[in-house]
């Protein structure tokens, strides 16, 4: 191992940030002053040229008029007064040129006066429009910048939530303009790269690709990757390999992750109905299979109403770890229903939970209305991305997901990176560093981090709060960690087995096979085998995920002590 490899990725990243801050923090205000002076110089030059021409015309008029018989424009004061009354179209008539050259100059003043006021107003508006944003950006150069690639409802929601927790953030919309004169956000016609050039430093700058069109977000993020600035891209897809500074965020994926943490499985034989199997339903089932590993003897049954042919064709190993289209009492089952959701009244009325997760809010509301009108259900009812309250539990609304905790998910990334570093240094396998991982293996580390809240439920039972992992109290985390740390013999083996089964599911859902290395491209993992076939050292690697309980607690305690 090379000497510089002994530092963890987190340490190397911190070193890089500090170095970048030292190198770039100094010149940014000088850069702003240079740009501002250049802009002012252009306007001052135009003004001075116009002033010289104006004074020259006044001087010529006085020279032509002061010796003429009957002249009343005799000095510069008279000429200035005449020009003012002419330019403003007041025209008192008390002064007027009498010579031919003087009248020619007066004609110039008359012609110019026709468009002078409009020119002056336009000039001032253009000057303010150009200079005001630059002055604002110059004044706030030391604040964190969040540069949005364009204005959109998603961008506005996140910006409002961000300012609530980070009031020093400066919100900037590139290539945009706003009619809202009261907004404190900055709208500029410049591109993102032009804004970064004007900042002069990349430290504490962020690029937010949050337009309504997800393909535009993807293309924007890829084109801006070379800036090395952290980029958040709102898109439902993640390339297998992408620049490390791009972080993809999906509303549907985040909703599904949070759902199973906020509304966890409470018994090993739950019957779950998923109505609507578009993008949201597909992600909901994926995250359910990856996260819902809580009981050694569990046999959850997922009844999915929607066409599951493509889902099964892509997940070739689905039938290896669940009973497919047939209920089982020994393992989880996934049953796809070709008939309509209201065909089986017994299932509908006795399901433990019904999740309405069509991609269309209107479809979900329509189904909810039908259930209320015709069926007496006994289970919990959940509705995706809807403003309905009281009748069903609403989840996954954009305003709840577009928050710094979920969009930036710094804690999620920290814990996922921590898990990978622990695994990399303890496993002895040929495991790439975090920056060299493909998106699939990174995602598996994210799922392991999300599972922290469910590990708390496994160890503490009903005493565990039903909240996302990031909202768990440090004391709760320490209590759950102590249960695992003090477990011996069969109990520790049971907890390790649960974690291994959960990890196996992540790999199997993405068609991984046993291999000597961990590789997204080859779809291989050295630990993809039944728990009982692992060596004792391999079984103990499951402890790494359990160690995240103490790691997260320490993280929270450190922040609380600041």
Q: Could you read off the pLDDT of 269-321 as tens digits, one per residue?
A: 999 999 999 999 999 999 999 999 999 999 999 999 999 999 999 999 999 99
* pLDDT interval class at 522 (50, 70, 90): confident
Backbone torsions φ then ψ of 68, nearest 5 degrees: -75, 145
Domains 28-134 and 143-249 share a fold: no
* DSSP per-residue letters across 335-351: EEE-S-TTS-HHHHHH-
| CATH value of 253-390 in 2.40.50, 1.10.3470, 1.10.10, 3.40.50 | 3.40.50
Per-residue burial over 61-90, b if 16 or more Cβ lie within 10 Å, else e, is bbebbeebeebebeeeebbeebbebbbeee
* pLDDT interval class at 37 (50, 70, 90): low
State how far the Cα of 255 lies from the Cα of 281, in Å rounded to an integer. Answer: 11
pLDDT at 229: 92
| pLDDT for residue 18 is more than 60 | no
pTM, full prediction: 0.78
Mean pLDDT, to the nearest integer, of 420-441? Answer: 83
State how far the Cα of 558 lies from the Cα of 562, in Å rounded to an integer. Answer: 7
pLDDT at 2: 42
* pLDDT interval class at 33 (50, 70, 90): low
Instruction: Supply angle C-alpha 180, 185, 186, rounded to 5.
Output: 95
Please report the sign of the dihedral spanned by the C-alpha atoms of residue 218, residue 219, residue 223, residue 224. Answer: negative
- Locate the domains of the chain by residue range: 28-134, 143-249, 253-390, 409-560
Two structure tokens written together for 269 = 């034989």
Give the helix ranges, DSSP H, for 166-240. 192-199, 214-223
Q: Which CATH class is domain 28-134?
A: mainly alpha
| pLDDT for residue 225 is more than 60 | yes
What would the pLDDT profile of 233-280 be if each residue is shown by its tens digit? 999 888 877 888 899 999 999 999 999 999 999 999 999 999 999 999
User: What percent of the chain is predicted at pLDDT more than 70?
Assistant: 88
Query: 143-249 adopts what CATH topology?
Result: Rossmann fold (3.40.50)
* DSSP per-residue letters across 168-234: TPEEEETT---S-TT--SEE-SS-HHHHHHHH---TTEEEEE--S-HHHHHHHHHHTGGG-S-EEEE
* pLDDT interval class at 6 (50, 70, 90): very low
* pLDDT interval class at 122 (50, 70, 90): low
Mean pLDDT, to the nearest integer, of 434-463? Answer: 92
DSSP conformational letter for 5: G
Computed on alpha carbons and rounded to an integer, the radius of gyration of the chain in Å comes to: 34
Mean pLDDT, to the nearest integer, of 358-382? Answer: 94
Give the helix ranges, DSSP H, for 263-352. 279-291, 309-314, 318-321, 345-350
């Amino acid at each position: 191992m090379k000497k510089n490899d002994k530092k963890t990725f987190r340490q190397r990243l911190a070193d890089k940030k500090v170095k970048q801050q030292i190198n770039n923090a100094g010149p940014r205000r000088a850069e702003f002053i240079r740009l501002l002076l250049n802009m002012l110089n252009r306007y001052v030059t135009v003004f001075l040229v116009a002033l010289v021409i104006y004074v020259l015309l006044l001087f010529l008029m006085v020279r032509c008029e002061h010796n003429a018989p009957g002249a009343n424009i005799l000095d510069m004061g008279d000429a200035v007064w005449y020009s003012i009354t002419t330019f403003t179209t007041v025209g008192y008539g008390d002064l007027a040129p009498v010579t031919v050259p003087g009248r020619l100059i007066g004609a110039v003043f008359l012609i110019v006066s026709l468009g002078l006021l409009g020119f002056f107003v336009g000039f001032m508006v253009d000057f303010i429009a150009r200079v005001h944003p630059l002055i604002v950006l110059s004044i706030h150069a030391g604040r964190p910048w969040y540069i949005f690639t364009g204005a959109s409802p998603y961008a506005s929601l996140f910006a409002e939530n961000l300012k609530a927790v980070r009031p020093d953030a400066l919100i900037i919309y590139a290539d945009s303009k706003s009619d809202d004169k009261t907004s404190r956000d900055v709208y500029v016609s410049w591109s993102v790269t032009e804004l970064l050039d004007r900042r002069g430093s990349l430290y504490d700058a962020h690029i937010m690709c949050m337009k309504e069109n997800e393909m535009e977000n993807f293309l924007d993020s890829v084109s801006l990757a070379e800036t090395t600035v952290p980029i958040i891209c709102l898109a439902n897809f993640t390339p297998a390999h992408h620049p490390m500074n791009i972080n993809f965020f999906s509303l549907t994926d985040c909703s599904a992750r949070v759902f199973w943490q906020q509304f966890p499985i409470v018994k090993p034989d739950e019957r779950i109905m998923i109505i609507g199997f578009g993008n949201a339903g597909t992600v909901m089932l994926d995250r359910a299979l990856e996260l819902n590993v809580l009981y050694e003897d569990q046999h959850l049954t997922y009844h999915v109403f929607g066409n599951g042919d493509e889902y099964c064709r892509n997940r070739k190993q689905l039938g290896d770890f669940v009973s497919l289209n047939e209920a089982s009492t020994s393992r989880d089952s996934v049953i796809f229903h070709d008939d309509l959701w209201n065909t089986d009244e017994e299932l509908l009325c006795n399901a433990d939970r019904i999740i309405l997760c069509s991609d269309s809010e209107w479809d979900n509301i329509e189904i909810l209305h039908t259930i209320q009108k015709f069926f007496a259900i006994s289970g919990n009812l959940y509705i995706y991305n809807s403003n309905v309250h009281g009748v069903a539990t609403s989840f996954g609304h954009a305003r709840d997901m577009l928050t710094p905790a979920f969009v930036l998910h710094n804690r999620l990334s920290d814990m996922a990176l921590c898990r990978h570093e622990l695994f990399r240094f303890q496993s002895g396998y040929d495991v790439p560093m975090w920056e060299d991982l493909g998106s699939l293996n990174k995602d598996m580390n994210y799922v392991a981090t999300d599972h922290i809240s469910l590990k708390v439920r496994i160890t503490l039972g009903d005493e565990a709060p039903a909240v996302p992992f990031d909202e768990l109290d440090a004391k709760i985390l320490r209590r759950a960690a102590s249960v695992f740390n003090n477990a011996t013999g069969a109990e520790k083996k049971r907890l390790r087995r649960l974690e291994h089964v959960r990890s196996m599911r992540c790999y199997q859902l993405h068609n991984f096979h046993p291999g000597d290395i961990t590789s997204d491209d080859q779809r291989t993992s050295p630990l993809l085998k039944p728990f009982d076939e692992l060596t004792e050292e391999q079984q103990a690697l499951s402890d790494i995920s359990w160690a995240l309980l103490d790691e997260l607690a320490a993280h929270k305690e450190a922040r609380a002590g600041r």
